[in-house]
Amino acid sequence: MTAGPMLILDLAAFRENVRVLAGLVAPARCMIAVKANAYGHGMLPFARAAIEGGAGALAVLEVPAALELREAGIAVPLFAWLHGERTDFAAAIEADVELGVSSLAELHRILDAVTGKPAAVHLKIDTGLHRNGASPEEWPALVSAARDAELAGRLRIAGLWSHLADASPEDDAAALAEFRAAVAVAAGLGVEEPFLHVAASSAGIREPEARFDQVRFGIAAYGISPFDDVNGRGLGLRPVMTYRAPVLAVADGRATIAAGSADGIPPSVLEAAGSGAWVLLDGVRREVVAIDVDTLDVLLDEAEGHVSPVTVGDIATVFGPGDDGEPTPEEWSSWADTVGDELVARASTRAERVYLNAAD
């Protein structure tokens, strides 16, 4: 057993989550996001498992991650959309990585990298999230330039897309109206029967009208609900990550566990009045009372005449699917006033990772 945290990652649960989500949105294509090292789970094993579970495409943020997937033999369509000044567009084009394009300047940088094989691009319209994408005023010029380059054989318009803010059903409805208007503008400029995608986990599950040709599933595929009113289990999904850590010391009615803020344990759980954060240790809920950089302390049930059976080396479960009574990632994220994807993505890079059920 490692002296620090351990992440148990259930690939069978992940594949089943993907199957559930792919079935939900069919005939739309199911794209699975493996960005941020698959939300801390491990990009390569989860990319392979996503495909085994029925994903038709994968999404990452940056081109280097897409190139790593290609070099590992991943052959499905890959989509990367966040580009820096040094992005190697030539390598992306050669590797058949489809590129999100948010501005005319970005389009020109991609075209500058085209030497033979045309680039495959997805043109993004900003429909209110304001993360990136062309404004409605900029959209006609972006589409026109892309269409001209397509006619010249320098690129292929592989899709039109956007992000939804998921702030409310009303906001999403307004964003979808903006997206449809942008698609109509593109049609007027000669873009015929484009591949359309706007929905991620939230809208993909609850808003059929937002599914179009593809849904980009992120955290839901990892078994964590994107909603406040239902957990992953309620959506037919299973949390994939179990976070465990050993007891380092037992003294003064406390156990010190080898997992702290540097390992992704959010100290903010102690700032929220009455959050009641706890871990499962020796089959008992143990209240978290202190979080340091690399450790956390929990209270034991010592009383006069009774000594806790917890000893050094015992294993605490910080969170998991809940099968044995442990808290779930969603409970921890609620205690920390954050979202589940942030919680699991912060899981320690120094943690030992154990992959279960590697073969489908």
Name the more confident of 144 and 342.
Answer: 144
Residue 230 lies in a domain: no
Residues 157 and 245 in one domain: no
Residues 247 and 194 in one domain: no
Contact 337, 292 (CB under 8 A): no
Residues 211 and 250 in one domain: no
Residues 97 and 135 in one domain: yes
Q: What is the mean pLDDT of the chain?
A: 92
Q: Domain total for the chain?
A: 2
Residue 360's pLDDT is 59
pTM metric for this prediction: 0.93
Residues 212 and 309 in one domain: no
Q: What is the pLDDT of residues 210-224, one digit of tens each?
A: 999 999 999 999 999
Q: What is the pLDDT of residues 335-353, one digit of tens each?
A: 988 888 888 888 877 788 9
- How far apart CA 142 and CA 123 sit, in angstroms, is 8
296 token code pair:
């956390």
CATH code of the domain containing 290:
2.40.37.10
Where would I find the beta strands (DSSP E) of the chain? 6-10, 29-33, 57-60, 78-80, 97-101, 119-124, 155-161, 196-197, 214-217, 241-251, 254-257, 278-281, 284-291, 296-299, 315-319, 352-356
Is the pLDDT at 273 greater than 60? The verdict is no
Residues 204 and 167 in one domain: yes
Band (305; pLDDT cuts 50, 70, 90): low
Stretch 134-145: mean pLDDT, rounded?
A: 96
Residues 315 and 213 in one domain: no
344 SS3 class: helix
Residue 28's pLDDT is 98
**Phi and psi based region of residue 213 (left: phi greater than 0; alpha: psi -120 to 50; beta: remaining):** alpha
Band (195; pLDDT cuts 50, 70, 90): very high
Q: Which of 75-79, 273-277, 304-308, 331-335 has the highest mean pLDDT?
A: 75-79
Residues 199 and 342 in one domain: no
Range in 2-11, 41-50, 129-138, 268-277 with the lowest mean pLDDT: 268-277
Residues 194 and 151 in one domain: yes
Which domain range does residue 133 map to?
A: 11-222
Residue 231 lies in a domain: no
- The residue out of 222, 252, 267 marking a domain boundary is 222
